[in-house]
A and B are shown apart, each in its own frame.
Chain A
Amino acid sequence: MLTYLVRRVLIMIPTLFVTSAIIFSVMALSPSDYFSNYAAEMQAQGEKVDNSRIDFMKKEYGLDKPPVERYFRWIGGFFVGDFGYSFEYQMPVSNVVGDRLYLTMLLSFTTIIFTWLVAFPIGIYSATHQYSWGDYGLTTLGLLGLAIPHFLLALLFLYFANVWFGISIGGLMDPKYFDQPMSWAKLQSILAHLWIPVIIIGTAGTGSMIRTIRANLLEELQKQYVTTARAKGLHPMRALMKYPFRMAMNFFISDIGSILPSIVSGAELVAIVLSLQTTGPLLVHALQSQDIYLAGSFLMFLATLTIVGVLISDIALAFLDPRIRLIGGTTK
């Protein structure tokens, strides 16, 4: 187990290195850069741009240096906690991302819990009551959530939340709380706004999770050992939860790898439509305006979380399912 862990952790280093190189080269391939982009946007409005000023800025921020040098400077900074400099915000990347991280995590945790709370009972119910009206009804509902595009749902919710409940459009709180420290009123405002994105983002995850739980559980329920357990008079609930359900959880555990990054990045599209103060819109905007260190460091962060998440799910799977062994090597 220990050698396996060490090997897994060591493999993460070249993986991250290759990832960072790919991220940086994709961004460096772009024909222009943040400052030219900024100048273009200003000119589109009629503003004059002093080109020598743009060149001055590029030089100040090291954009005149060869890409390889910029890459190593950027990646080197990671070891001392320096994630580069955001051109857009004129401050170190860590300061920019910091504030938004908490709201994003709040939103994502709530969404994940919501998904679980809805998907597990429904999944188990539809598996145990296969082909019943309840099964059809609930699965259809889940599939609807999966099928309707997020942004469309978001727009509908925006409209009705405003018209029916008078909730200000978009955002995770009323604008008047933006610059205030956390208070009871601010928390209330956040909670009043939070349910909209939670339901929107949650519905799709719910739909697919119901289907998977149902399918996996059904497969287990057909097996001999379940029939035997029931025949021997084991309580139906225990006969369900003790073995079949545990087996059906494998997919869920292996999914943790993708849950970790999604806690931080959330659903970008919905966040943009709803104008949420999460990290998603920040990333998309940074990519659009070619704020390369902000975008790059963010992507690196997500890559790291994915790799760590996969590691966690591997370990958890080993504990959950004794059939999975961590000792590698080929067996004949």
Chain B
Amino acid sequence: MRRMSLLFGLLALLLAACSAQAEIATPRETPYFEYDVGDGKLPPVALRLPLHPRIIDLPSMNRETGHPGGTWKMLMGDQRDLRMMTIYSYARLVVFDDKLNFVPDILESIQIEDDKVFTLHLREGHKWSDGQPFTTEDFRYYWEDVANNATLSPSGPSPSLLVRGKPPRVEIIDATTVRYSWDEPNPAFLPALAGSQPLFIFMPAHYLKQFNAKYADTAALDKLVKKARVMNWGSLHERMSRQYRCDNPDLPTLDPWRNRTSAPAELFVFERNPYFHRVDQTGQQLPYLDRVTLSLGTTSLIPAKTASGDSTLQARYLGFEDYTFLKQNEDLNHYKVNLWENGQGSFAALMPNLNAKDPVWQRLLRDVRFRRALSLGINRHDINQALFFGLARESADTVLPQSPLFKETYAKAWSTYDPAAANKLLDEAGLDKRGSDGFRLLPDGRRADLIVETAGDVAEYVDILELVGDDWAKIGLRAFTHPAHRDVFRKRILDGDTIMSIGSGIDNGNPTSAIEPDDLAPMHESQFQWPRWGLYQESDGHEGDAVDVPEAAQLVDLYRAWRRSTNKAQRQDIWGKMLSINSDQVFSIGIINGTKQPVVISDQMRNVPVDALYAFDPSGFFGIYMPDTFWLANAPGG
């Protein structure tokens, strides 16, 4: 007998899910499908929904109950942006609610024992968008035939599924129950499932088996491979199975809308999924909106097109600099522009490259006094006033005040303007010699000019650097901006040619302790303050360099401790330690956060929050606010 008694906090989810089922209303047919149902092409709504659909009680969320119908028109840059639909749709096994608690969504419930054993209960009668049953076979298929197949996953299962390098035991208990268990806790499992870019541990087996050599008829598979002009069945399977990118209209999905357009196209049409598992409290199947269209075009035209009323709800490719222009056309083209807050730890942060190749610069950049001096030498207040009308927040690169982990001291650490203290620190750090023009010299006699590189994609970075340069000139340093194409930019940083770069700070500025703290430690190659250390962790020590600064090494240890943690108190403690090391060591010099993101909402669109956080993680931009509950007043069929 498995020990089932000690179920920690998260098990409460199970109870919440059960109580919601009590008040189930009779499902009502969606007008969009009435014709197909009458024709017998589609079963009636009661048979399409799972036995226990997820009931969204809109009044309790202070939202209006809507009417089905209408189209959400959106403007996008290119075909890769299709993945935004997966992010916005935000249907996951487990999702974050608006208070960032884990809530079962596709799952009916989940039982968790000591963070080691996770028993997933599917909804009985839940179906893929093509009407085929969604069962634990789909989990088995992914685990046995994809994640552990050498052709499809040469490097094995995803790291979030490994605890100290060991994969879970996956047991299929019955058609709706599957269990993942590890010998040690795996706190990374739930956040990975609920992520904006989720870990898919299931795949539509009934559809994908035709592309898998283990199941498919060899001759038929060969024909498909030839027709698609790919190298082998592995590439074909990879191409047909991308659930995140959702560019294959034939791939069944569990999302509220399914793609109906094959690439290449200029307009992608997503149609409501007749088998979506959520209903509102009156029994109307969600989503309310019948269609989502993505029309692709030049990204620089998107603000202009939005202002002429071409989009129903748009935030991507709009920037703060477009705000006044968008606002001007509000009445003319019947929309509202709301300002949401950007969810990054820092909108702009300077990243001293601790892996710089130049030995003199490397020693200096690794000297905490130098980093602190640079941070103290920036007049954040002026930058906020000059570029953001004072609407942003002057802060170090740390979590936002919305986060339960926030402390005032993190935001204030070394981030108040104090040129005198900065000068003193710079002298102490060995920059006490000055050239004939009054600017500081490096210990080897070169002038200490800081060349700050950017990927050139955010216009404000150049303006910010202009102001930072003026501030730094007052402490005897000069800054120069050097924009480069993103490829070159990243390569230079990784090679150590760059001494400093500017980019956005911590990606997830609103974390809870249940979220992996990998942003705070050298864990990824894409972290510009320590790319080679990150690469070392990412490649298991095959590439890059081992961490050789004690404070950074401590961050790696703390991250590892989080991966082994067993309860909330431990995780909170670890997050606190990591945040305070980061703010004390100023590994990235945050300038400003809480900048505003314009969100253009058509006057007809309902249930879109007025004020919210705009971020990829954890909110999936719109995802956490449930676009399936957005609706259009006066929509045809509404």
Give residues in A with beta carbon < 8 Å to B. 30-32, 36-38, 40-41, 43-52, 55-57, 60-62, 82, 85, 88-92, 95-96, 99, 158, 162, 168-171, 175, 178-179, 272-275, 277, 281, 285, 290
Contact = CB atoms under 8 A, between A and B. Distances in A.
Interface residues of B, number: 56
Interface stretch (B233-241, B250-258, B410-418, B569-577): B233-241
B298 A179 contact: no
Given A31-B487, A37-B487, A277 B266 contact: yes
Given A40-B490, A91-B264, A281-B298, A168 B526 contact: no
A47 B266 contact: no
A88 B79 contact: yes
B455 to A, nearest CB: 7
A45 B616 contact: yes
B617 interface: yes
Contacts of A48: 197, 524
A52 B154 contact: yes
B327 to A, nearest CB: 17
A192 to B, nearest CB: 15
A89 B228 CA distance: 12
B189 to A, nearest CB: 15
Given A31-B488, A99-B264, A169-B301, A285 B78 contact: yes
A60 B263 contact: no
Contact of A46 (B238, B239, B616): B616
B453 interface: no
With most chain B CB atoms within 10 A of its CB, the pick from A56, A57, A99 is: A56
Contacts of A30: 487
A264 B616 CA distance: 39
Query: A95, A171, A285 — which one has the most chain B CB atoms within 10 A of its CB?
Result: A171
Contacts of A99: 264
Contacts of B486: 37, 40-41, 44
Interface of B: 73, 78-80, 153-155, 158, 196-197, 228-232, 234-235, 238-239, 247, 261, 263-267, 269, 293, 295, 297-298, 300-301, 304-305, 308, 310, 344, 455, 457, 486-488, 490-491, 503, 507-508, 524-526, 538-539, 615-617
Contacts of A52: 154-155
A15 to B, nearest CB: 28
A170 B155 contact: no
Contacts of A168: 305, 308, 310
A51 B538 contact: yes
B69 to A, nearest CB: 17
A56 B304 CA distance: 40
A52 B542 CA distance: 12
Contact of B235 (A41, A43, A60): A60
B264 A62 contact: no
Nearest to B87: A47
Given A60-B234, A61-B231, 8 more contacts: A48-B524, A60-B230, A60-B232, A90-B247, A162-B308, A169-B310, A175-B267, A273-B298
11 contacts: A46-B508, A51-B538, A57-B238, A89-B263, A90-B263, A170-B297, A170-B305, A175-B73, A272-B298, A273-B298, A285-B78
